[in-house]
Structure 1
Amino acid sequence: MTEIYPTIAHCAIVATAFKILLFPAYKSTDFEVHRNWLAITNSLPLWEWYYEKTSEWTLDYPPFFAYFEWVLSQVAKLADPAMLRVYNLGYDSWQTIYFQRFTVIATELVLIYALQLFVESSQTVTKRAAQAAAISVLLSPGLLIIDHIHFQYNGVMYGVLILSLVLARQKSGLLVSGLVFAALLCMKHIYLYLAPAYFVYLLRTYCFSSKFRIQFLNCFKLGSGIIGIFGLAFGPFALKGQIPQILTRLFPFSRGLCHAYWAPNVWAMYSFIDRVLIFVAPRMGLPVKMEAVNSVTRGLVGDTSFAVLPDVTPRVCFALTLLFQAIPLVRLFLRPNWDAFIGAVTLCGYSSFLFGWHVHEKAILLVIIPFSLIALKDRRHLSAFRPLAVSGHVSLFPLLFTPAEFPIKIVYTVFWLILFLMAFDRMAPPSTRPRFFLFDRFTILYITISIPLILYSSLLHQIIFGKSYEFLPLMFTSSYSAIGVVGSWIGFMVVYFTS
């Protein structure tokens, strides 16, 4: 009897129906951020977009995303013109809510198209395995939590990213891949984290021949194309001398090392150790900066002083990020192929997430999504992917803190993890190298311990402490998730250099 497997289209239809049911769900301040951007781009001249500050949620994405908001605003007039008034702060009529929620779903068509293209062009794994990986991305709990409840437009941008990655699979698509990625950078600058991998891969495969001879025509086409795209995005603002103002909005280093809720990275572990040392240091004779005792855990943006450990500067973050990105890029330059390219993109995402300055917890998708495309290459890849899939998605739970959304985030994420990790386990081919038996045991232990941690952070803490020590469950969730992300990173580094 022939087995029937769901297609991307089938899953997209079912997912859309579920997402529509979530229209009345909790929405974060990001909902008001994007409503304000609709108003700014629709009501004000182009030259005022990056200076407007009536709302505290000022426009801080690159121009292509601002143009994207302008296009949406032309349709928003038909839904509710009141949402397009700059001074109408906090406006959330049901027409506004339904319109903004629907646009997130509609623009995800880019993601669906890119994933379908990925399946059709699959070479490394079977079509069935590629389809499983694609559906896991489409139904990602991360995208559901961040885009369809919390509220953002990551789906369309990850669709553009995957499209760029798939185009890079064939030599004939390298130029278009680079140009699509350049356009993505002009939509959201967080993708700069992945740019070094693109630079090395395109340089090695498109600008150089196999014998390291420079292909001058290819260099010209790629360079002129990228300049043209950035010119379209930033050119109008450059004519008015507004580039410094835009850069100030895009790169606000004054926000501090850690986001208000720590992203699960090295600095979350560093901050946790500092919290522990506050109690241990006096017994060891170490000095404690009393003015910094509460600075990290009270969640204030820009407040990142440590009580015992040395403070961390943007230069330290940049140096560490660059160092750990350079390691896989050397291998990519010497042995350029598509799998190595996706691996390097993933590792660049890891490095930036783990060591970057003021990293948001939502940036973990920069690692999970590209890794998903090669997680089924063999068992060793899957071993490194498992702890990331668990810790990365669990780390997003604190974004939804209202009781109504509690069962949604828990049940949906657990169902996704069980379904896809079991499916991946059946489909991943064996590796030619020894499996990570010790690492697999670490993953099992890690997942086992995460269960009581989730229960404590989500339910028991409030029962025991009420509203006291509110940052404690956040700290535990972030720090413990960081262990999983770091462990996954180390495992994948080993896989990348021994494959």
Structure 2
Amino acid sequence: MESSSSTPQLLWFFAIAVCVKLLLIPAYHSTDFEVHRHWLALTHSLPLSNWYADETSPWTLDYPPFFACFERFLSIFAHYIDPQIVDLHNGLNYRANSAIYFLRISVILSDLWLLYGVYRLTKNADVKRRNLIWVLIVWSPALVMVDHLHFQYNGFLLGWLLLSISFLQEGKDLMGGFLFAVLLCFKHLFAVAAPVYFVYLLRHYCWEGLFRGFSRLSVLGAVVVAVFAAAYGPFLYHGQIQQVFNRMFPFGRGLCHAYWAPNFWVFYIILDKVFSFFLKKFGFSIQIPAASFTGGLVGDSSPFAVLPKISPSTTLIMVLLALSPCFIKAWTNPQPRMVARWIAYAYTCGFLFGWHVHEKASLHFVIPLAIVAVQSLEDAKHYFMLSIVSCYSLFPLLYEAQEYPIKVLLLLLHSILMWLGFSTKFTRASAPNTMVTAKKKGAQSKSIESSSPAAEKGGFTIGWVGKSYLLGLLLVEIWGQFLHPYLLGDKFPFVPLMLISTYCAFGIMYSWIWQLRWIISTT
């Protein structure tokens, strides 16, 4: 009854978000806009066997087949609105109003799948928790910035992830695994969480005695194989599978993206540059790689001046090692209520230690952590800090002056809403009831759902360390936006980006350590 009555309220949340997104239609959009416009034309104009072989544009198709089919579906409507949108030989940067409005609105409409995922996750939650999750996800400023300004379809993809999590939390493991397999065939970068899914499903769903366990494993395997066969089978039939994989995994692009994602490799790069600087001062002959990390160019920026070169296999090993505590917990104590936390942790590991990570990939763990953020006061404090840091790290994506007040306003409003929402949920007044309930249940250990820390802390607040770190974000922004251009002009243009990446990397690293500690300590 409560879930049905909450539907109109959720639609109001979504309607407000849509109004904001409609106002942003004329705003800046990146080259990703032309990438997706070209993919519409490519999938509409060419037979399926040529989708991953086309080279009429630099923006070759590098997403898995289901996403290519999604583009083909959209191209049907684009053709009726303006045939030039899907004209493969229309040239680059087709920016007619018809193309802008169609593509922008297609992203807004695809967010309905995210809305369904959020609804299904929260349909049985209490009002405070449900509304707070809606605010954190449906009104996420990072999603608005990446999808509706920069331009991508992350909301649609994250809808599949949230749906998968919702089924796993209900104990419907087969459906949860099926939806995750579908997601991987839409965007393969979500595969970082695949080992966690495998361990959890093997232990929780398949570990039911020899006969029943084998039959369940067979069914689960058949479902996953069927999904991948539907996605890749046609390309295997046409002898295109190697070309598809080459497009999806372009390891030649290098360790880091043009703009450094705030992850572990930022510190590795800086250490290499510090070593090379001092060694040159002491007379050593140091050859600086031609593809400089600070040049802001896309290319193979893997070589280092002093430190060893990092290979894709090295990053894979580091990600798996970082994930190992999660594997142990998922195997020894496979609890559905921990699934969202484990999946978010997996994407945090991938973001920190992965190969050629885009800064936009922070959405992969920030959105699932919104589910976790409402579970305890400590989770709320952690999410408050992480959400601000990850959103601020996306600021360089929107570099034009007219978008500056938009991104600042989005982050400020989100911070205020988070503060008010967490303050409402975690108050001193709610503590006595929680403590009484805990006594009745005889609870002696830490509970994931407990809000009793509010009694100790006096409600939602952050300590002086958190406040100091957020103040540092403000100082970094003041330097990059105002002081650096005024004092240094065009000199060292990479410094503001480097400061943002490095400073935010400290925040993301702290979040990873915090999540790791919680996973290890939770029973």
Q: Give the TM-score range, shorter chain.
A: over 0.9
Q: Is the 8 A contact 1:59 1:249 kept in 2?
A: yes
Task: Give the structure-1-normalised TM-score.
Answer: 0.93
Matches within 5 A, 1:158-237: 158-171=158-171, 173-209=172-208, 215-237=213-235
Q: In the alignment, which of 483, 489, 495 is matched to residue 460 of structure 1?
A: 483
Once residues 467 and 120 of structure 2 are traced to their aligned partners in structure 1, the CA distance between those partners, rounded to angstroms, is 34
Residue 418 of structure 1 corresponds to which residue in structure 2? 416
Query: SS of the residue aligned with 1:36?
Result: helix
Query: How far 1:349 moved relative to its partner?
Result: 0.6
Alpha-carbon distance change, 380 to 278 in structure 1, aligned in 2, over 3 angstroms: same
Q: In the alignment, which of 284, 288, 291 is matched to residue 291 of structure 1?
A: 288
Matches within 5 A, 1:202-351: 202-209=201-208, 215-282=213-280, 285=282, 287=284, 289-292=286-289, 295-300=292-297, 301-351=299-349
- How many equivalent residue pairs? 489
Residue 435 of structure 2 corresponds to which residue in structure 1? none
Q: Is the 8 A contact 2:52 2:61 kept in 1?
A: yes
Once residues 44 and 291 of structure 2 are traced to their aligned partners in structure 1, the CA distance between those partners, rounded to angstroms, is 42
Matches within 5 A, 1:70-109: 70-88=72-90, 89-109=92-112
Q: Which amino acid aligns with 1:75?
A: F
- Alignment of 1:489 onto 2:512: yes
Task: Give the structure-2-normalised TM-score.
Answer: 0.89
Alpha-carbon distance change, 31 to 248 in structure 1, aligned in 2, over 3 angstroms: same
Tell me which moved more, 73-82 or 130-139.
130-139
Once residues 273 and 253 of structure 1 are traced to their aligned partners in structure 2, the CA distance between those partners, rounded to angstroms, is 23
Q: Which amino acid aligns with 1:98?
A: Y
Query: SS of the residue aligned with 2:374?
Result: coil
Query: How far 1:440 moved relative to its partner?
Result: 4.2
Query: How far 1:260 moved relative to its partner?
Result: 0.3
Q: Is the 8 A contact 1:281 1:308 kept in 2?
A: no
Alpha-carbon distance change, 463 to 212 in structure 1, aligned in 2, over 3 angstroms: farther
Once residues 286 and 255 of structure 2 are traced to their aligned partners in structure 1, the CA distance between those partners, rounded to angstroms, is 18
Query: How far 1:347 moved relative to its partner?
Result: 1.2
Query: SS of the residue aligned with 1:56?
Result: coil
Tell me which moved more, 423-432 or 215-224.
423-432
Query: SS of the residue aligned with 1:449?
Result: helix
Aligned-residue sequence identity (percent) comes to 37
Task: Provide, for residues 280-326 of structure 1, a one-character-per-residue CA deviation record: whole Å limited to 9, x for no partner.
Answer: 3445x484633238711112321232223322221211110110112
Alpha-carbon distance change, 208 to 294 in structure 1, aligned in 2, over 3 angstroms: closer
Alpha-carbon distance change, 156 to 438 in structure 1, aligned in 2, over 3 angstroms: closer
Residue 493 of structure 2 corresponds to which residue in structure 1? 470
Once residues 11 and 20 of structure 2 are traced to their aligned partners in structure 1, the CA distance between those partners, rounded to angstroms, is 14
Q: Which amino acid aligns with 2:128?
A: R
Q: In the alignment, which of 421, 425, 430 is matched to residue 452 of structure 2?
A: 430
Task: Provide, for residues 324-355 of structure 1, a one-character-per-residue CA deviation record: whole Å limited to 9, x for no partner.
Answer: 11221111111111232212111111111100
Query: How far 1:422 moved relative to its partner?
Result: 3.7
Alpha-carbon distance change, 280 to 213 in structure 1, aligned in 2, over 3 angstroms: farther
Give the unaligned 5+ runs of structure 2.
1-5, 427-450
Tell me which moved more, 15-24 or 415-424.
415-424
Task: Provide, for residues 393-427 of structure 1, a one-character-per-residue CA deviation record: whole Å limited to 9, x for no partner.
Answer: 11000000000000000111121022213422442
Alpha-carbon distance change, 149 to 288 in structure 1, aligned in 2, over 3 angstroms: farther
Query: How far 1:432 moved relative to its partner?
Result: 10
Residue 401 of structure 2 corresponds to which residue in structure 1? 403
Q: In the alignment, which of 63, 68, 71 is matched to residue 70 of structure 2?
A: 68
Q: Which amino acid aligns with 2:507?
A: G
Residue 361 of structure 1 corresponds to which residue in structure 2? 359
Task: Provide, for residues 3-46 of structure 1, a one-character-per-residue CA deviation record: whole Å limited to 9, x for no partner.
Answer: xx993211211111111111110010000000000000000011
Q: Is the 8 A contact 2:377 2:454 kept in 1?
A: no
Q: Is the 8 A contact 2:133 2:370 kept in 1?
A: yes
Tell me which moved more, 340-349 or 475-484.
340-349
Alpha-carbon distance change, 282 to 289 in structure 1, aligned in 2, over 3 angstroms: closer
Query: How far 1:214 moved relative to its partner?
Result: 5.1
Q: Is the 8 A contact 1:325 1:351 kept in 2?
A: yes
Query: SS of the residue aligned with 2:372?
Result: coil
Once residues 439 and 9 of structure 1 are traced to their aligned partners in structure 2, the CA distance between those partners, rounded to angstroms, is 32
Residue 480 of structure 1 corresponds to which residue in structure 2? 503
Query: How far 1:430 moved relative to its partner?
Result: 3.0
Query: SS of the residue aligned with 1:8?
Result: helix
CA RMSD, aligned part only? 2.3
Q: Is the 8 A contact 2:291 2:300 kept in 1?
A: no
Residue 379 of structure 1 corresponds to which residue in structure 2? 377
Query: SS of the residue aligned with 2:116?
Result: helix
Q: Is the 8 A contact 1:398 1:474 kept in 2?
A: yes
Once residues 461 and 414 of structure 2 are traced to their aligned partners in structure 1, the CA distance between those partners, rounded to angstroms, is 25
Once residues 210 and 361 of structure 2 are traced to their aligned partners in structure 1, the CA distance between those partners, rounded to angstroms, is 35
Q: Is the 8 A contact 1:50 1:245 kept in 2?
A: yes
Once residues 75 and 359 of structure 1 are traced to their aligned partners in structure 2, the CA distance between those partners, rounded to angstroms, is 33
Q: Is the 8 A contact 2:264 2:509 kept in 1?
A: yes
Query: SS of the residue aligned with 1:406?
Result: helix
Q: Which amino acid aligns with 2:119?
A: Q
Once residues 61 and 340 of structure 1 are traced to their aligned partners in structure 2, the CA distance between those partners, rounded to angstroms, is 30
Alpha-carbon distance change, 323 to 288 in structure 1, aligned in 2, over 3 angstroms: farther
